[in-house]
Structure 1
Amino acid sequence: MTFRATCLATVFAFCAAGPLAAQGKIDVAIIGDPDTFDPMVSTKDVVSIVTQHFMETLYTFDDNWQVVPLLASDMPTISEDGTTYTIPLREGVSFHDGSTMDSGDVVASLNRWKEVASRGMAIADQINGIEATGPAEITITLSEPYAPLTTLLAFSNSAAVIYPEEILADEIDEPIGTGPYKIKARQPDQYTQLVPFDDYSQPGAAAGERAQIPDEIRFIPVPDTNTRIEGLLSGQFDYADSLSTEAFERIEASDVAEPVLLEPFGWSLFAVNHKKGLMTDLNIRRAVQAALPYDDMLFAAFGDEKFFQTDGALYPEGWSWHNEAGTELYNQNDPEKAAEYLEEAGYDGQPLRILTSRQYEFHYQMAEVARMALEMAGFTVQVDVVDWATLAQNRDNPDLWDIYITHSPFLPEPTLTSSLFATAREGWANPEKEEILDRFTRETDPEARKEIYAELQQKVYEDVGLIKIGNFNVVQGKSRALSGVTPSPWPVFWNARKEQ
C-alpha cells in the first residue's frame, strides 16, 4: 500500500459524530448536500462552492475575471501556431496526504478531466497529447488552436482539479486535494466540516491570499429557502446562499444580518433535450419558444423589477460579448403562433415534461407560469417537481425530461456554457452551430471572436438550442459580524472573519 493510500482514511474521515468545537467557526447554509466532492464530474454550484476550498486547479480568476496562475507558477508559453501550451508548475505544493505534487499528478489528472468532465470532453478531440516535459512542467498539444483553453483550466465546475495520480479512478469518492482546507468530517444531509490544511502552500499574489482564518467552516444543507432565511436572521448561519427576493427588505432591516445582492448575477434558462423526446422536433422547440411569456415568468419568480431584466441577449450590456443577434425571437408571447408550430409538427398531445425543483424557488415559479402559457398554446404539460439532487441525477437520463430549468452566472468566456456543446447532456448537435463554434474556439483575435459569437447567438435562437428566460440578480445573506467574504456566485470563506 502506498503512503498516499495509507493516509487516506485519516485525511478524509467521514465520521458520524458532531464536528469538533473550534474558535472562529463559520456556518454556511447552502441549498442542498453536494452529491459528489469530485468537481470534475459536476457542474452544480453547490458542489463548486464547497470543493473549491479543498481542490485546486492550475489557474484561477482574479477579481476582474482574468485568468491567473494557481497551481501553475506562471501563464503558459504558447507556440506561434497556438497549438502547444507549456505550463510551468509550482514546486513544493503538498497534497492533503502529505505527498508532493509533480508533473505526473498533473498529467494524469488532466487526462482524466478530458475523459469524465463535460468541459474536458468538449475539447478532448482537439487534444493530441498531455505530457510531462520536466518534473515541474507539462505540455499540452492541440490539433488546432483553442482560444479558451486557460479559461477552461481555471473554472471551478466540471473543473480540471489536480489529484494525486495514485487515487485516480472513474469515480473518486474520497478526494485528496491541495487546497487551504481539508475535510474533517461529514454527516450526510447535516453538514460538511472543513478545517485548515496546516501544510498549505500559498499561491502567488495574483491569485490572492488564502489566509485560512476560520478554524472551521461548516457547510450545512438547508433545502428550504425560508429555513435558510430564518436561520440567517436568528444568527444560526453566518452566511446563506440563494435567498428569495421577497426577503430582501426584511434582511436589510435586521440588526443581525444584511443582504448581499449580486447584480447582475446571471441568466435563467430552459435547457432543451435534443437527444430524445418531443423537443427533438424543431417545430416543437419553436412552439415552446413562441409561447413563453418571459415578463410574467420573471415577475412570478422575482417579484420586483429591481431583481430581473427581460433581456434576450445572452450577455447583458456592459459585457464585451453583448449583441442583439436573434433577439427578435425572444419574448414573443404568442400562443397563436405556437399553435401553428404545433400543428405543423403534428403534435398529438404527448405531455411536455418540465423537470424542476423548489430548492431554487424561482425555478418552480417560472415553471408554473410556463405551464399555463404552454397549455393555452395547446400543449399537454407535465411538471415534475423533485429535490435538486434528484433533478441533477435525472437530467443525465434523456428518457426522463424534455426541458429542465436551470440558471448560470454570466461567465467570462462563452464556451464555459456547456449547453452549447454536443457533448453536454442536452446533446445539441446542429452541424451549422458546430461549424460556428469551431471557428469561435480557434479564433484568437478578440474582435473577430465577438463577431463570431453574434453568429452563435443567432443560431441559438433560430434552432432553439436553449431557451433564455431573462437576466436576474441574486440575494445572498451574511451576518453583520462577518467580513472578508467577497460577493460571488461561488463565495469563498478562507479569508472570513467574525467579530466576537
Structure 2
Amino acid sequence: MKKISLLCLMLLLSFTLMACSAEESGTDDKGGEAAVGGELQVAYNAQPPTLDPLLTTAVATRDVMRHVYETLVTVNQKFEVKPMLAKSYEVSEDGKIITFELRDGIKFHNGEEMLPEDVVASMNRWKESTTLGKSYFADAVFSSSGEKTVVLEMKQPLSTALAMLADPGQAAIITPKEINEAATEQGITEYIGTGPYKFVEWKTDQYVHLEKFSDYQSLDSESSGLAGKKEGFVDDIYFQFVTDASTRLSGIQTGEYDIANAIPFDNAEQLEANEDVVNHIDHNGFNGLVFNKKAGFFADVIARQAVNAALDEEEILMASFTNENFYELEHGLMIKDQVEWYSEAGKDQYNQNDPEKAKQLLEEAGYNGEEIVILASRDYEDHYNAAVVVQQQLEKIGMKTKLDVYDWATVLQRRADEKAYDIFVTGFPTEPIPAKYVFLDSANQWPGWTNSPEMDQLLDQINTASSQEEAQEYFAQLQEEFYNYLPMIKFGNKTTITSTRSNIEGMGFLQGVTLWNVQKK
C-alpha cells in the first residue's frame, strides 16, 4: 500500500472512503494466492474494562470484540444499514414491525447452530442492558416466528430503529441463549459469538488472544466497513495492551508489532521515512470535554456557558494533534459528508475564545474559587494534551483547577462517580444518527448525566419523523439546543494514525480497525 502523504490527509476526513480491501477467497487483491496463516501482534493503546460490549461504550471493548461477535444488521463504510446475521429484513407499512429472516447454517464458536431463540434471548438482554435499548426499545417485543424468523414489534414507529440495531458501539451482539440467561450484572462469563475469530484468552493488563474460527460462514458481498465479506487469513490475533506511546512507536519500527494504533501525531513524519512502515490516517470522530451536570459547579448551565466562552479550540486541537492536517475546526455533531443531517445551527457559539465574556459568566454563576477537577488519561495522548490546555485556559479566567490523570480503565470507573470530578476529556466516533450520541438523551444516564427535557423531546421528534427532511429540521433545532444546554463541548473533528508493517495488507477502519481480510505477506 502506498504511503499517505501528509498533504493529502484532509481528503481522508470523509467516511465515504471504501474499505481497504475486498479480496476473493483464496486470492489477494492482485488475483494471486492469498497469504494464509501466521499471527498478528497488535499494539493497542488502552485496556478494555470488560469484554462484554453491552456493558460499556469503551472503544477498546468494541475494537477487540467486533472480531468475535456479530449482529443481525450492521453498517458499511457509508454507514448504510446492511444485513449480517439476518439474510433480509422487512419493515411494515406502519413502521411498527420489523421482520428478520435469519441466514441458514450459522454456527456459534461452540459448534451449535444459531437459532431464533438465541437471537430473541440476545436482543432481550441488549434492550435491557444498553442505553439505546433502555431508551428506545423498553416496550418493544422480540419473538420467534418459525424456524428462521425473528420479529420486532414496537408500540410506536421508530424510523431510526435499524440504525440503532446496527450500531457498532454497544452492539446488539448475538450469543447463545444459555449464555444470555447466565449473564449477571457483571455481564457474560463466556465469550461465544459467530464472528471470523473466536475468543481464546484474556490476560488482564497484558493481551487478548483471538483464534481463527474455521467454521465461519462469510457473506459473499463486497467487504465494506463492518458489512460484507470477512475472511480470517491469519490464524491468531493478539491485542497487546501497550499504553505507552513510545513503546508502540518503537515496536512498530522494530517489527515487534505488526500493527500499532493511536500513533502520536508528532511521530508521523518519522514513520513516513521508514520504508518498512505504512501510516493509515482515518477520520475518527471528535474529542471534547464532558461536564458533570449532576453535582458540583457545572450543574449550573451558566457555569458551563462560561467555559464554552473561554475555550480557544484551535489551541486545544493543535496541542492534541500537532499539525492542522490532522484536525478540523468544526462545530457540527454530524459531519459535512452527512448531507442528510448536517446543520450550521449553533455555529456562533463554537470556538468563542472570549475570556472577558467567560469571566462575566463566571461571576454570574457565583464562582467562588471552587477547585475544578479534570479527569484525563495518558493512554490517549490527544485527550491528555487537550486536558492540559483546557486547564491552562480555565486558570487564565480565574478558575482553580486540578488535573487528575489515570489509566483509561480508571477514568471509566471514576467518571461514573458524581463526586469524583467536574470535567472529563474523551472522544466520540462519528455516529450515523443523532440518537447515538450518548450525551444527548437524558434517559441514557451516561456519565455527565444530561437532564434536558428540550433535547429529549427533539430526539423523540427526530426518531419518529415521517421523512428525512422533517428529521433534519428537528436536528437543526436539537443542535441549537445542544449549544444552549452544553452537556459537553466539542473541540473539533480529528483523525487517528494506525501504523502497520509494510507486509500487512487488507486492514480496514470504521470507528476502529477491522482485521478480518488482513494478510501477512
Q: Same fold (TM over 0.5)?
A: yes
Deviations 1:39-81 (A, max 9, x none): 111111111111011111111112322111111111x211212
**1:187 maps to 2:203:** yes
Query: Does the aligned pair in 2 maintain the 1:48–1:156 contact within 8 Å?
Result: yes
Q: In the aligned structure 2, how far is the partner of 1:353 from the partner of 1:91?
A: 53
**1:94 maps to 2:114:** no
Moved more, 189-198 or 204-213: 204-213
**1:138 maps to 2:150:** yes
2:354 aligned to which of 326, 331, 334 = 334
Count of residue pairs brought into register by the alignment = 475
Query: Does the aligned pair in 2 maintain the 1:271–1:403 contact within 8 Å?
Result: yes
Query: Does the aligned pair in 1 maintain the 2:248–2:260 contact within 8 Å?
Result: yes
Moved more, 116-125 or 301-310: 116-125
Task: Quote the offset at 1:190 in angstroms.
Answer: 1.9
Corresponding residue for 2:307?
A: 288
2:60 aligned to which of 26, 34, 46 = 46
Task: Quote the offset at 1:178 in angstroms.
Answer: 1.0
Corresponding residue for 1:115?
A: 128
Query: Does the aligned pair in 2 maintain the 1:30–1:241 contact within 8 Å?
Result: yes
The residue type paired with residue 496 of structure 1 is V
Query: Does the aligned pair in 1 maintain the 2:276–2:501 contact within 8 Å?
Result: yes
Query: Does the aligned pair in 2 maintain the 1:235–1:257 contact within 8 Å?
Result: no
**Per the alignment, in what secondary structure is the counterpart of residue 210 of structure 1?**
coil
Corresponding residue for 2:289?
A: 270
Q: In the aligned structure 2, how far is the partner of 1:162 from the partner of 1:316?
A: 31
Alignment of 1:233-248 (within 5 A): 233-248=253-268
**1:229 maps to 2:249:** yes
Task: Quote the offset at 1:84 in angstroms.
Answer: 1.2
Query: Does the aligned pair in 2 maintain the 1:301–1:361 contact within 8 Å?
Result: yes
Corresponding residue for 1:174?
A: 190
Query: Does the aligned pair in 1 maintain the 2:72–2:86 contact within 8 Å?
Result: yes
Query: Does the aligned pair in 1 maintain the 2:137–2:154 contact within 8 Å?
Result: no
**1:485 maps to 2:501:** no
Q: In the aligned structure 2, how far is the partner of 1:201 from the partner of 1:444?
A: 37
Corresponding residue for 2:166?
A: 154
Deviations 1:379-404 (A, max 9, x none): 22121111001111212222222221
Corresponding residue for 1:6?
A: none
Query: Does the aligned pair in 2 maintain the 1:41–1:118 contact within 8 Å?
Result: no
Corresponding residue for 2:496?
A: 474
Corresponding residue for 2:327?
A: 308
The residue type paired with residue 396 of structure 2 is M
Corresponding residue for 2:273?
A: 253
Query: Does the aligned pair in 2 maintain the 1:71–1:203 contact within 8 Å?
Result: no
**1:83 maps to 2:96:** yes
**Per the alignment, in what secondary structure is the counterpart of residue 513 of structure 2?**
coil
Q: In the aligned structure 1, how far is the partner of 2:471 from the partner of 2:518?
A: 38
Query: Does the aligned pair in 2 maintain the 1:69–1:204 contact within 8 Å?
Result: no
**Per the alignment, in what secondary structure is the counterpart of residue 365 of structure 1?**
helix
TM-score norm. by structure 2 comes to 0.88
Query: Does the aligned pair in 1 maintain the 2:122–2:175 contact within 8 Å?
Result: yes
Q: In the aligned structure 1, how far is the partner of 2:296 from the partner of 2:149?
A: 47
The residue type paired with residue 243 of structure 1 is I
Corresponding residue for 1:5?
A: none
Alignment of 1:432-447 (within 5 A): 432-447=454-469
Alignment of 1:16-27 (within 5 A): 23-27=37-41
Q: Which runs of 5+ in 1 are unaligned?
A: 1-21
Task: Quote the offset at 1:467 in angstroms.
Answer: 0.7
1:57 aligned to which of 66, 71, 76 = 71
Between the aligned residues of both structures, percent identity stands at: 35
Q: In the aligned structure 2, how far is the partner of 1:401 from the partner of 1:147?
A: 37
CA change 1:253–1:444 in 2 (3 A) is farther
CA change 1:136–1:275 in 2 (3 A) is farther
TM-score norm. by structure 1 comes to 0.92
**Per the alignment, in what secondary structure is the counterpart of residue 418 of structure 1?**
coil
Task: Quote the offset at 1:273 in angstroms.
Answer: 2.0
CA change 1:408–1:482 in 2 (3 A) is same
Q: In the aligned structure 1, how far is the partner of 2:326 from the partner of 2:290?
A: 22
Task: Quote the offset at 1:204 in angstroms.
Answer: 4.9
Q: In the aligned structure 2, how far is the partner of 1:31 from the partner of 1:357?
A: 11
Alignment of 1:398-417 (within 5 A): 398-417=418-437
Query: Does the aligned pair in 1 maintain the 2:102–2:149 contact within 8 Å?
Result: yes
Q: Which runs of 5+ in 2 are unaligned?
A: 1-35
**1:199 maps to 2:180:** no
Deviations 1:417-456 (A, max 9, x none): 1111111413212111111111001114122221111111
The residue type paired with residue 41 of structure 2 is D
Moved more, 317-326 or 297-306: 317-326
Q: In the aligned structure 1, how far is the partner of 2:319 from the partner of 2:357?
A: 23
Q: In the aligned structure 2, how far is the partner of 1:271 from the partner of 1:135?
A: 46
Q: In the aligned structure 2, how far is the partner of 1:424 from the partner of 1:200?
A: 37
The residue type paired with residue 94 of structure 1 is K
Q: In the aligned structure 2, how far is the partner of 1:135 from the partner of 1:381?
A: 60
**Per the alignment, in what secondary structure is the counterpart of residue 162 of structure 2?**
helix
The residue type paired with residue 140 of structure 1 is L
Task: Quote the offset at 1:23 in angstroms.
Answer: 4.2
Q: In the aligned structure 1, how far is the partner of 2:511 from the partner of 2:460?
A: 29
Q: CA RMSD in A?
A: 1.6
Deviations 1:139-193 (A, max 9, x none): 1111212122111111222111011111121321322111111122332222211
Alignment of 1:456-467 (within 5 A): 456-467=478-489
The residue type paired with residue 344 of structure 1 is E
Deviations 1:20-52 (A, max 9, x none): xx9421111111222211111111111111101
Q: In the aligned structure 2, how far is the partner of 1:256 from the partner of 1:491?
A: 20
Corresponding residue for 2:449?
A: 427
Query: Does the aligned pair in 2 maintain the 1:37–1:173 contact within 8 Å?
Result: no
